[in-house]
Structure formats: structure tokens, C-alpha cells
Amino acid sequence: MNNKSEISYYPEIMSFIEAQIISNFKASYGKELQVFCKTGELSSGLRNIINENHLKIKDIDDFATSVPPLNLDIFAIITDGNKFEILILEIKKTKSVGLNQWSQLVGYCIVSNARFGLLINIDAGASLRLIDLLQNDINISTIQRIKAQGNNSVHILGMMEWNSMTKNIEYSNLGSVPSISKLCNLIWERFNEDFQS
Amino acid sequence: MNTDKAYIFGLIIGGGVFGNSKDTFYIKLPYEQWGDAAKNPTRAGKIANDILKVVRPVFKSIYNIDVSYEVSPKWRIVCSGDCSVLLNDLVDHDINPLGEVRKNAYIKTVIMQLIDDNMKRRFLAGLADTIGSTTPSHRRFSDDTQILSFEIAGFNFDFVCDLCKLLSSIGCYPDQVLWNHPNMHSGRDAYYKSWKKGFKLRVTLDQYSNFGVFAFRTKAESSAENRKKQNKTNIAEHCKVKAVKVHDATAVHVDENSLILPETIRGGHYIHHKHFCAVLGCENAPYSDIDECLSSAEKYINPFTILHKGMRIEIDNIVNSTEIMKSRDYNEVSYTVEDLLSVFETNSMALIFSDSIDSGYPISTIIDAITYIVAAKTGMLHGKRPRGNRLNLLNEFAKNNPKTDIVFLVPDLLTPLIVVDDDVAALVGPVNPKVYKKLISFDKTNKYKMLVRNITENDLK
């Protein structure tokens, strides 16, 4: 394992994820999406993205205001101009990620109400225990919450690996987001939920 | 199409082999020496790891197909499970999943679906992981220009042209395309039968590293290792602005009309790798440069072989079965190696055995022929190639055998000269541009396709 810090990989990971999501939406659905990635504090980061890009999306201002302060490795707003989704990337650079790191991602998603989350380990995979859990219990990666107010919230999570040599995401098939193209399908379904129902 | 399918399609178009089964297919990885498990077990282990970490999950996730691999006798990825969705997807993209895909693949439909540079890179990553060779021998002249060579078997010229355009569209301008054609693989020898060595689409590693991608760590590492050998950075130029330089003539090969060549190419004679691009109608071909070269094409063709080396009996057979050579009167003359070296050292461009200034037999090719003869005499041949530097070999021989003559059979017209020895011989074709100009015409439907008719005695008289 090389000595580069975890943070130094953020720009290349962000640019990779951004490019894949934009390509997939354009190719699969003929839709030009906007993907805005940032690192650091979520609430102020969201407000900066909204202001810098003059985003006029329903509920996004309320979301940015109501979300509690949360320091994240990478987060992204993905929007088709009408709706938006938040994707959280929890980046690790460790020999193997385990339940500890997975729990961290789950926690961030619950607190921020982000629907999508990816745990990404740089040049390494997951512990046997986490593999076992993610392979055998879907409830660990698709989490349905009934909030105190009664409304539902769903979090869909996956685990992938960043290959620093090829600058490419490698899939582990662990969790409920097995690939970036599947993640795009899930986001597309979400954007079209009103039409479908 | 999506980014994952683009990568899978790249792998399949690069190495996919389909039989009649809908449950299994293979992806051939032509890793031969580079991936030899006995010679480099570490790399072999890493290749296996790449297959399991990169290929397996993407196939599982997109098509629910299982992936394993075989190392012996050759590297291949084994894909098994219900492949019907994938097969339908391929057919929907005009890829026929039958036999070795890259040999007949029509990739225009797939390419149209690669809607941006990122998607193109995913597709190219699949191709580069399969047929992109990073063997260290792929370099231009020296270690300073390391090459990634896309190695493509078969005679699918359109596929190579489409792939080349795709690479160019993301900034990976090709360094050179070695077309699977006798004029490329056997430019000097009109009779060489083993010219079918496949296509090599060569891109500098610098260019590919900047604009292309690998998904296999082993390929990326190997590419980085090769680039470390360079003392400079190479910047490639777009085909349209890169000057076309034709250095040598090419011999009209006996297989130019072979039915294995596609109709667009068949029957034509080609003087430069970009001449093919023009005939194929590539939008990036440097048409004005090709026009200029073709306007003086007589300097760049030879209706005879330029040099053919072989056993004496084989050369006799060629002469006796070629009317224009058979019916010549040959005058036997002899020169020492020293005499010939002296002519070469005075003027390496000299044409000899002729009374005209612009026709005759090039001394440089004659030096090649006698090097072969001398190497055969002294046990310095490796196949048909003399070992070592030709001038050193000849000087050494001249020093030790000052009185030994080399025998030439000089024809009464400018047909190939025969250099003979006891068991071996060589044919050397003459330069004769004024006459060769009469042989050239161009296809009525494709003005870049040059046709060279057979030469006759009347042409030479």
C-alpha cells in the first residue's frame, strides 16, 4: 500500500463517479443530469452548491437548511433539474473495511436522510465478516426506516473498491448497489416515482 | 448502453469466442509470453486477480453471469450461466455472437452508443485489457517511445478503421497502423507467404496513459513500467496534420488479389499505412499528402520482388514459373565482397548493372542479398535473417576471404537480378520508375485505390 493519504484520492474518485453517472444517464435515458460533488461539511456544502450553480429545485433549500452539520468524505447532489438525490461516499484507506466503517456510512445516511451511500475502500476490500453480513442479509444494505412522524425513508447502500493504479472503481457485488450503472437505475427510478405511481 | 456494458462489450469484442451454447462463452486473452505463468508467476497471479476482481463482479452485476478463468493452454475467461440476455444485447448492437467476434465484428452501432468520452474510455478499457499488448518489444526504434499495440487477428479492415477513429476521438492518435496486408507485413518480398500476422494498431503509451484507460491493474502496471524506460515524453499528432513520408518502395505481392482480403482492399497496392486509411474513406486520413505521394507512386512501387532470399531450388522455381524472368538471357558476372562494399561506401544510393541514371539495382539491396549469401556460407543465419550488423559481417568475410567472388546473373532486361551461391540464392528487383509509371492506374470507384498491372517484356524494351 502506498503512502498517499486518503484525502488525496478524493478528487479522482469524485471526478470518476461524476463522469460515470452523467454518461449512464445520457446513454440509458437520454437525460442530461447534473452531478455536483463536494467534500467536507454537508449542510454548508449543499448551500454552496445551490448558490454557486443557481439551483432551483423543489425542496432542495429546505433540505440544505434542515440537514444537521455533518463532516463527510464526499457527497454529491444528483439532479435532473426537477428532483434531486444525495449520494454519500465514505472513503477508507485500510486493509479491509468492516462493520465499523459500514456502520459509519449507515449513520451518515440516517442523519442526513441521504438515500444512497457507498463505502469505498482504496486498493482493498471488505472483511470476511462484513462480506458475510452483506451477502446474507439484504436488510443491512437496504434500510427502510419509519420515522417518528410516520413517514418512510429508505437508504440503499453498497461497497466498492477504488483501484488507485487504474483509477477505476471495482465492484464487490456487496450490498444493494452492485454497480454504478445499477446505482443510476435506482436514481432514475426514484426520479420517476411520481410518474410510475 | 451504460458504462458497465461498454466495458463488457469491449472485452467481448476484443476476445469473445462463442459457440452454439447459450450457457457458456469465452474471452480469449492473448497474453502468450507476457502472461506466461511459468516465466512470470507473479504477473500470472495478478492477471487472475484482475479477472476475479474486475471482470467477475461486472458480469455478475449486469448479466448475472459467472466468471472463472483458465491459464492452460492459454489464458481465457470462462463465462457461464444463462447468457441469453447478453446475447440479445449483443445482437441488438449488431454484434453477431458467433465464433471469434473481433474477426467479423461490425462495431459502428456500438460506437454510436458510446455517447461521450467517458463511455468511449470504458469500451476501450475492455479492448485494451484483452488485445492491448504492453509487451516491452512494442516500441518505436528505442526505449524512448513505448507503445500500446492493439493486436487484431483476421482481415476486418473496417473494424480496425473504426477502432482507430474511436481512439482518435478521445485524443489517442495512433502512432501507426500495421494493416494485415502483404504490402505492410512483406513490403520487400513479393513471395513471402507468412505475411498474415494480424493488425497492429499502435498508440504511444504516453498518449494512451493521458487519454485512455485500463481496468486491469496488471496492464496499467506494465504500461507504467514500460513508460519508466523513456527519457522523454511523446506527444502524438492528429493523423490529418502528421506528415506522410514514404521511405521505400513496396513490392507488388502475389497475394494482393487474395480472396481473404475484403473487396475494398483487394486488388490494390499500398505504399503507406495511411494509404489504407484513404482507401477506407477514413475522415482522419491525410488525403492531400496521399494525393501527393500517389502522384509520384512509380517511385514507391516495384512490380517485382525487391528482395527475396531462399534456397537455390526455390529461387529457380520462381524464375522458371515467371515468364518474364524465365525468358531472359542471363549474363554471369562476379565481384568480390570488397568491390561491392566499396561501391556501397562511395554511394549507398547507387544503382548498378544499368546504363540509366534512374534505373538499375540498388546497391543497398544488393548488400542485403550478399549478406544473406555470406551469412549462409558462414553459419550466421537465423532463419533467413543474418545475425548481427550486415556491414560488420561482410567486412569480416572480405578480410578472411579476399578472393571469394559473389556470382550475379544479370538479365538482359530490367527484371530481377539473381545472386547465387551453392545452396542459396536471392532475387533483387530493379528500380525503374519511368517504366513502372505505365503500370499504374486507379480504381474507377475509389480514386485512392491504386492498381498495378503485370509488367511485360514490351514495357521493358
Confidence of residue A3 (pLDDT cuts 50, 70, 90): confident
- Distance (Å) from the alpha carbon of A11 to chain B's nearest alpha carbon: 16
CB contact under 8 A, B118 and A180: no
Locate B62 and state its grid cell: 449486469
pLDDT tens-digit series, residues B305-315: 999 999 999 99
pLDDT tens-digit series, residues B414-436: 999 999 998 999 999 999 999 99
User: Is residue B46 a contact partner of residue B29, using CB atoms and an 8 Å limit?
Assistant: no
What stretches of A93-151 adopt beta strand conformation (E)?
A: 96-97, 116-122, 125-126, 142-146
A142 in contact with chain B, both atoms CB, cutoff 8 A = no
B111 in contact with chain A, both atoms CB, cutoff 8 A = no
pLDDT of res. A196: 43
Mutate to test the interface with B, among A14, A16, A168, A180 (most CBs of B within 10 A): A168
pLDDT of res. A197: 40
Is pLDDT above 70 for B406? yes
B116 in contact with chain A, both atoms CB, cutoff 8 A = yes
Nearest CA in chain B to A176: B61
A156 in contact with chain B, both atoms CB, cutoff 8 A = no
Torsion of CA B122, B124, B130, B136, to 10 degrees: -120
A31 in contact with chain B, both atoms CB, cutoff 8 A = no
Question: What is the C-alpha separation between B143 and B230, in angstroms, rounded?
Answer: 6
List the single residue in B62, B119, B221 with the smallest CB-CB distance to A165: B221
Which residues, in sequence order, are CB contacts of A80 under 8 Å at separation 6+?
Answer: A25, A31, A33, A34, A191
pLDDT tens-digit series, residues A16-42: 999 999 999 999 888 888 999 999 999
pLDDT tens-digit series, residues A143-174: 998 887 878 899 999 999 999 999 999 999 99
pLDDT of res. B371: 96
Is pLDDT above 70 for B141? no
User: Is residue A89 a contact partner of residue A13, using CB atoms and an 8 Å limit?
Assistant: yes
User: Rounded to the nearest 5 degrees, what angle is found at the Cα of B73, between the Cα atoms of B72 and B78?
Assistant: 60
Question: What is the C-alpha separation between B5 and A194, in angstroms, rounded?
Answer: 28
Question: What is the C-alpha separation between B305 and B188, in angstroms, rounded?
Answer: 6
Question: What is the C-alpha separation between B193 and B253, in angstroms, rounded?
Answer: 10
Is pLDDT above 60 for A195? no
Which residues, in sequence order, are CB contacts of B302 under 8 Å at separation 6+?
Answer: B190, B249, B250, B251, B252, B429, B430, B431, B436
Q: Is residue A148 part of a domain?
A: yes
| CB-CB neighbors (< 8 A) of B213 in chain A | 166-168
Enumerate domains of chain B plus CATH numbers: 3-236 (3.10.28.10), 307-428 (no CATH)
Is pLDDT above 50 for B20? yes
Mutate to test the interface with B, among A171, A177, A187 (most CBs of B within 10 A): A171
Q: Which domain holds residue A84?
A: 7-196
pLDDT of res. B96: 93
Q: Return the number of CB contacts < 8 Å for A and B.
A: 70
Q: Is residue A1 part of a domain?
A: no
| CB-CB neighbors (< 8 A) of B114 in chain A | 27
Q: Is residue A24 part of a domain?
A: yes
pLDDT tens-digit series, residues B191-223: 999 999 999 999 988 888 877 789 999 999 988
CB contact under 8 A, B115 and A163: no
B113 in contact with chain A, both atoms CB, cutoff 8 A = yes
A173 in contact with chain B, both atoms CB, cutoff 8 A = yes
User: Percent of chain B at pLDDT above 70?
Assistant: 99
A19 in contact with chain B, both atoms CB, cutoff 8 A = yes
Q: Is residue A2 part of a domain?
A: no
Is pLDDT above 70 for B445? yes
B3 in contact with chain A, both atoms CB, cutoff 8 A = yes
Q: Is residue A136 part of a domain?
A: yes
Mutate to test the interface with B, among A165, A169, A177, A184 (most CBs of B within 10 A): A165
Average pLDDT, chain B: 92
End-to-end CA distance of chain B: 64
List the single residue in A19, A166, A182 with the smallest CB-CB distance to B118: A19
Total domain count for chain A? 1
pLDDT of res. A150: 77
A135 in contact with chain B, both atoms CB, cutoff 8 A = no
For strand A168-175 and strand A152-163, is the pairing parallel, antiparallel, or unpaired? Answer: antiparallel
CB contact under 8 A, B58 and A171: yes
Which residues, in sequence order, are CB contacts of B395 under 8 Å at separation 6+?
Answer: B341
B58 in contact with chain A, both atoms CB, cutoff 8 A = yes
CB contact under 8 A, B4 and A181: yes
pLDDT tens-digit series, residues A79-134: 988 899 999 999 999 999 999 999 999 999 999 999 999 999 999 999 999 999 99
pLDDT of res. B194: 94
pLDDT tens-digit series, residues B351-381: 998 878 899 999 999 999 999 999 998 888 8
pLDDT tens-digit series, residues B284-313: 999 999 999 999 999 999 999 999 999 999
ipTM of the complex: 0.93
3-state secondary structure of B330: strand
Is pLDDT above 70 for B10? yes
pLDDT tens-digit series, residues B223-259: 888 888 877 777 777 888 888 888 889 999 999 999 9
Please tell me the pTM assigned to this model.
0.91
Locate A145 and state its grid cell: 426506516
| pLDDT: which is higher, B235 or A189 | A189
Average pLDDT value for residue range A43-67: 89
| CB-CB neighbors (< 8 A) of A21 in chain B | none
Confidence of residue A1 (pLDDT cuts 50, 70, 90): low
- Which positions 378-397 of B are in contact with A (Cβ < 8 Å)? none
A32 in contact with chain B, both atoms CB, cutoff 8 A = no
For strand B301-302 and strand A34-41, is the pairing parallel, antiparallel, or unpaired? Answer: unpaired
